Every structure is written in structure tokens, then in C-alpha cells.
Structure 1
């Protein structure tokens, strides 16, 4: 199980890299307004042109579509021949085995959902380690894995860098389209989990969960 928070700078690449359905990648390319989503989907999508022999074969099938009995070809075969002839090739994906066997999920925060509801832009950000002093870097190496929340990290007084702004609804649409048609990423409302967990009484907070959301991982607050 691999989880990434909605504000992480790599969140878009994280989601698209696991996508194995070329139809969904084509849908994203044709419908998103976000250039990074479109670019990453294009890079993930693989197109193999038809050979001359394949073109002849598909055209041969299509020659029977208006003949009674369709030359014995099924409607499905005719439709596939039409699609392949129209597109001129076959779509698949690059790196189809990437993260095979690992589930991915996105931790959804209240700030992100508010941005979606208000149709606002949303900051993708992370600790500004490139500009940390030696002392700050030591603190980062020692404590970031326990904190893990860029909001809390900023409240602690450490620098945070905004890598880009994205229309929240575009990211939300990406998450939902991929989750609906490929079952990933999973969605975990981490702020809601922390609001309702009794772990707060013990000075702990939820930082992750298993794929089914049944077993939470806790860390000291």
C-alpha cells in the first residue's frame, strides 16, 4: 500500500503512473484542462501503428460489413476493425508493470475538499529542503517521517515550498475518473479519520491505513 497526500507535488504523476487503461488516458488527454495532466497522460500512453498487412486485414473485414452475413464476421469483429482502421493503430501503456502488486491511495484533506467545493486553486507543496540550513536539514531527516504533514511542518516554523497551483476540481476529477475506471487510487479522508479517532487522547494521529481502511497506522503528534 502506497499513500500520498493530495498536496504532494508528485500527486499527478503518482496517480497517472499506475493507470493501465489506455482508454482512460485518452479520455484524460481529450478532456482535462490541466496541461500537466495532459502531458503525463500522453507520456504514459503508447501508440503502435498498424503494419501494412494489418491495414489490409482490417480493410478486408470491413469490405464484408454491408454484405448479408458479413462474411461470417461477428458484429464485434466488424466494430474492432472499424476502430483499428479509424485510429490507425493500437493503444497500450508504457511501463505496464509499474507498481504491479501495490495498491495506491490518496489522503484527502479538508483544505482540498474546500478548494474543490469553492472551485479554487490548490497548492501542491512540500518542505523547502533545497533551501534548508544544515541544522534545519538535520531536523527534517530526524522528524519529517514522524510528522509527515506539510501543514503541521509549516506550523512548526519550517519553510515550505509551493511547487505549483492546480485547479482543485481538475485534480479531483483525475482522482475520481481513475478510481472509477481502474479502481485506483483509493481515497482516504485523513482529516476526518483524525477528527474521529480516539487515538488523540493518547497523543497520536492517523498517518496512513491499509487498502481497506481497516487498520490505521499511528504516529505521535
Structure 2
């Protein structure tokens, strides 16, 4: 299980990295308004154009469409041949084996869900380590893995960099489309979990969950 928070600058690439369905990648290209989502989908999508021999073969199949008996071809095969010629090639995905041995999930914060409901922009942020001095970098290396929340980190007074802002609903739609058609990413409402967990009584907090806890 690999989890990433909704505020992380790499959240879009993280989600699309596991998408193995080229049709969904094409859907994202045609239906999202977010340029970074489009770029990530385009980078993941692989297109192999038809060779001249393949074009002739598919055209030969289609030529039987108006002939009784369809030349022995089924309607399905003829429709597939038409689709091949219409698209001009075959769509697949790059790095199809990437993270195949792991499930991925997204930690959704209350801040993000509020931005979705209000149709607001949402900031993708991370500690601004490039501007840390030696002492700040030492503290980051020793403590970030335990804190792991950019909001808490900022409240502690450490510099945080906003890498970009995006419409929250675009990210929400990306999560839902990919989860619906590829079963990933899973979602974990991290703030809700911490509001309700008994771990608070022991001065602890929830930072992730196992795959069955989503």
C-alpha cells in the first residue's frame, strides 16, 4: 500500500501512474480542463500507428460489410476494423508494469473536500526544503517522516512552497474516474479518521491505513 495526501505536488502523476486503461486516459484528455492532468494522461498514453499492411487488412475486412454473409466475419470484427481505421492505430499505456505489486490510495483532507463542495481552487504544497538553512534541513530530515502533514508543518513555522493551484473538482473528478474504472486509487478520509480515533487519548494520530481500512 502506497498513500499520498491530496495536497502533495505529485498527486496527479501518482494517480495516473497506475491507470492501465487507455480508453480512460483518452476520456481524461477529452473531458478535463486541467492542463497538468491532460499532460500526465498524454504522457501515460501510448499510440502505435497502423502499418500500411494493417490498414489494407482492416479495409479488406470492411469491404465485406455490404456483402451477404459478411465474408465470414462477425459484426464485432467489422466494427473493430472500422474503429482501427478511424483511430489510425492502437492505444496502450507506457510503463504498464509500474507499481503493479502495490495498491495506491489518496488521503483526503477536510480542507480538500470543503474546496470541492465550494468549487474552489486547492493548493498543492510541500515543505520548501530548497530554501531551508542547515538547522531547518536537519529538523526536516529528523521529523518530517513523523509529522507528514504540510498543514501542521506550516503551523510549526516552517516554510512551505505552493507548487500550483488547481480547481479542487478537477482533482476530485480524476480520483473518481480512475477509481471507478481501475479500482484505484482508494480513498482514506484522514481528518475524519483522526477526529474519531481513540489514538488521540495516547497523543498519537492516524497517518495511513491498511488496504482493507479504506
Same fold? TM cut 0.5 = yes
Hey, what does 1:130 align to over in structure 2? 130
Separation in structure 2 between the aligned mates of residue 196 and residue 66 of structure 1, nearest angstrom: 66
Pairwise CA distance, 1:65: 1.3
Give the TM-score normalised by the residue count of structure 1: 0.95
Name stretches of at least 5 consecutive residues in structure 1 with no aligned partner. 215-221
Hey, what does 1:190 align to over in structure 2? 190
Separation in structure 2 between the aligned mates of residue 212 and residue 64 of structure 1, nearest angstrom: 52
Separation in structure 2 between the aligned mates of residue 188 and residue 176 of structure 1, nearest angstrom: 13
Hey, what does 1:175 align to over in structure 2? 175
Separation in structure 1 between the aligned mates of residue 203 and residue 66 of structure 2, nearest angstrom: 73
Question: Match of 1:187, SS?
Answer: strand
Give the TM-score normalised by the residue count of structure 2: 0.98
Hey, what does 1:206 align to over in structure 2? 206
* RMSD of aligned alpha carbons: 0.8
Report the number of matched residues: 214
Name stretches of at least 5 consecutive residues in structure 2 with no aligned partner. none
Question: Match of 1:126, SS?
Answer: strand
Pairwise CA distance, 1:74: 1.1
Question: Match of 2:19, SS?
Answer: coil
Hey, what does 1:100 align to over in structure 2? 100
Question: Match of 1:47, SS?
Answer: strand
**What does 1:5-154 align with in structure 2 at a 5 Å threshold?**
5-154=5-154
* Bigger shift: residues 114-123 or 70-79: 70-79
Pairwise CA distance, 1:79: 1.2
Separation in structure 1 between the aligned mates of residue 121 and residue 54 of structure 2, nearest angstrom: 47
Pairwise CA distance, 1:162: 0.4
Hey, what does 1:219 align to over in structure 2? none
Pairwise CA distance, 1:75: 1.5
Separation in structure 2 between the aligned mates of residue 213 and residue 79 of structure 1, nearest angstrom: 43
Higher strand share: 1
Q: Which runs of 4+ in 1 moved over 4 A?
A: none
Separation in structure 2 between the aligned mates of residue 106 and residue 79 of structure 1, nearest angstrom: 38
Question: Match of 1:153, SS?
Answer: helix
Pairwise CA distance, 1:18: 1.2
Pairwise CA distance, 1:129: 0.4
